[in-house]
Amino acid sequence: MTLPQTFLWLGLFLFGRTAFAQSTRAVWLDELAIKSFSEGIPAVLGKTNAAGDSMRIGGSYYRHGVGVNSTSILAFWLDGHAKTFSALVGVDDQGQKNLPHVFYVIGDRNILFESRVMRRGDVAQPVSVDLTGIKRLGLLVRVVDEGLTKVYSNWADAQFVMLDNHQPKTIPNTDERYILTPSAPQTPRINSPGVVGATPHNPVLYTIAASGERPMSFAVNGLPAGLSLDAKTGIITGQVAKRGTYPVTLHAKNALGEATKMLKINIGDTISLTPPIGWNGWNSWARNIDQGKVMASADAMVRMGLSDHGWSYINIDDAWQGKRGGPFNAIQPNAKFPRFKEMVDYIHALGLKAGIYSTPMITSYAGYTGGSSDFADGHLTDSIVANKRAFRYVGNYRFETNDARQFAEWGIDYLKYDWRIEVPSAERMSAALKQSGRDIHYSISNSAPFASVTDWVRLTNSYRTGPDIRDSWNSLFVSAFTLDKWAPYGGPGHWNDPDMMIVGNVTTGSEIHPTRLTPDEQYSHVSLFSLLAAPLLIGCPIEQLDAFTLNLLTNDEVIAINQDPLGKSARLVQETDGIQVWLKPLEDGSYAVGLFNVGNFGKTPQSYFRWGDETATSFTFDFTKVHLKNRYALRDVWRQKNLGPYTGTFHTAIRHHGVVLLRMFPEK
């Protein structure tokens, strides 16, 4: 080859390399829909700190970045299409003083960056990591905040350098949506709770929930005076004057057979003898809720068959409220609810119950009329309407009695009362509801202080034990797997409430989307809520339920654990190598046991993220270690399958973040 030919070949080679080289571009973290990447509980915000204010670290201002609150988990799917990640990290100048934070960048299980221990006032620490070949990336801030608020920190000037036109995506949730529970038989099966409580002279609404082929007829032996049954619908209504416990026998009959079940009707001072089970509209529609959507949800509860398995509450959350007025000078519905009483009557005619939302604050969290005011007549001024966030406090004039009388007049069965919980407001509304002339389940929200738990037991029917739940394993873990200390206080008439359920399509923090919980995590979610005797309130559009989610919500043996008349919450009785054992005694002397593979969540930086290579764990459940007797007949509750007698131990494999849910019947 001549020298000119050599230069020509070299030029063509270099030109070809340049022509085929991958281009790169910078992507600011705050340009992404960052809330959809967050698996923490508090909100994350782009271009500001987590309070929505200027982002500052050690006195320096940053125009770009993401502000986070408390322990923060951001997970990204890069699939090998990223080159670098860089940022400046530190505690925001408005954050908690002297609280130590540590920042991590983790790629495909490897820690690529770990900051020094950082506190408010420290100068920002630079981050620069090579992401070549990385598929999954996690940005983690670990901080033990012990319930403190305003735990602000920042990923300032954070950006990816991406290859070509690729963008970071959310972690795919493509695990098989496997169905465990067999279909309910076409012969009748009664699924409603075996106990119900009502106050003397107050209206009763109890629906015999039964699955099986339709048409079906119903009968009841021993109904107390004042109650009557609609034999076609199974709806029991009326009122009972005399206190006491009335045992009755329920019957459901179709062309294939007949089912019976004993029911105790307790007329006294305690309602909500089993946890409420139903639907709440916030995680479905948020502020876009309206009368049509509520009535459609009630229709779907019946049409999809959920009501046949005991699901009964249709609860409206925030955003129904209009101005104060009417005969009671109470909160009236806004224009989205033009025929409120008609809507409630429609829900009741389906055999379902109706719930509503309010707050003792001047304005609700969504900015609507609340239960107090700084004006004697309770009106809202233009300045309040224009600056609603500034009026999230309890005003000088309070209207609990007015609003409770209006709720009772409409026929409301459930009140979610939402604010920064303190005893005086809780006590005033408790008294108002008891004097309203109607039994209304009283649920307070959110993050009830544990120090006042005996007050919540005394005053309410359920109380939120933590912050708003999000559809992530971290949020589920914090909301439910940490409730052992609350367990002794929950029971008939006063239930520990870890918030709504996060199955189906949800709107927790972003546009409506399928839950980010894996199928294994969803089985764990429903299992633990049932073991805890927690309220079961799904937060998804009912008409959008797919076959997997519907199957998840209609296993009558799981629901029966939740609705067990004994009303005991499960306790965490063992934790070994990432496996938790939760044990719940039941009324018939058997036990419900959940074996959960929590994967040592929170104990290492890597454990906060899902890496896609997780495997099942083998576990031997030793009965004696949790103080159980030696021999039991075991039943797999999700598969509704008898496993046979076991003596001493039971060995099984438990999928990552999954569960084995057992019913244990002692043998002689």
HEC letters along 59-75: CEEECCEEEEECCEEEE
pLDDT reported for residue 9: 53
Strands lying side by side in the sheet with 313-315:
495-497, 462-464, 441-445, 414-418, 353-358, 313-315, 277-280, 536-538
Q: Is a pLDDT exceeding 70 seen at residue 32?
A: yes
pLDDT reported for residue 655: 98
Non-local (6+) Cβ contacts of 301 within 8 A are 278, 279, 307, 311, 314, 350, 352, 542
Beta strand 102-107 with 65-69 is: unpaired
Q: What is the dihedral of CA 25, 30, 34, 40, to 10 degrees?
A: 120
Non-local (6+) Cβ contacts of 459 within 8 A are 423, 426, 427, 430, 442
- One-letter amino acid identity for 508? T
Strands (E) in 471-590, as ranges, are 495-497, 505-506, 513-514, 536-538, 571-576, 579-585
Beta strand 321-325 with 330-333 is: antiparallel
pLDDT band with cut points at 50, 70 and 90 for residue 19: very low
pLDDT reported for residue 2: 57
Q: Which residues are catalytic?
A: 418, 468
pLDDT band with cut points at 50, 70 and 90 for residue 40: confident
d(CA 390, CA 509): 22
Q: Phi and psi at residue 377, in whole multiples of 5°?
A: -90, -5
Domains defined for the chain, CATH in brackets:
24-163 (2.60.120.1060), 197-267 (2.60.40.10), 277-565 (3.20.20.70), 573-666 (2.60.40.1180)
Average pLDDT estimate for 344-351: 98
Cis peptide before 110 (omega within 30 of 0): no
pLDDT reported for residue 388: 80
What radius of gyration, in Å, describes the C-alpha atoms of the chain? 28
Q: Report how far apart the first and last C-alpha atoms of the chain are (Å, whole number).
A: 95
Beta carbons within 10 angstroms of residue 362's beta carbon: 24
pLDDT reported for residue 146: 79
What percent of the chain has a predicted confidence (pLDDT) above 90? 91
Cis peptide before 215 (omega within 30 of 0): yes
What are the DSSP calls for 383-435, one per residue? HHHHTGGGG-SB-SEE-HHHHHHHHHHHT--EEEEESS--HHHHHHHHHHHHT
pLDDT reported for residue 337: 97
Tens digit of each residue's pLDDT (9 = 90 or more) over 349-359:
999 999 999 99
Tens digit of each residue's pLDDT (9 = 90 or more) over 47-91:
999 999 999 999 999 999 999 999 999 999 999 999 999 999 999
Average pLDDT estimate for 319-346: 97
Residue with tokens 């529609």: 285
Residue with tokens 């046949």: 308
Q: Is a pLDDT exceeding 80 seen at residue 12?
A: no
pLDDT reported for residue 20: 52
pLDDT reported for residue 255: 98
Question: With contact defined as beta carbons under 8 Å apart, do 454 and 419 qualify?
Answer: no
Verdict on whether the full-model pTM lies above 0.85: yes
Helix axes 473-480, 519-531, angle to 10 degrees: 10
pLDDT reported for residue 508: 73
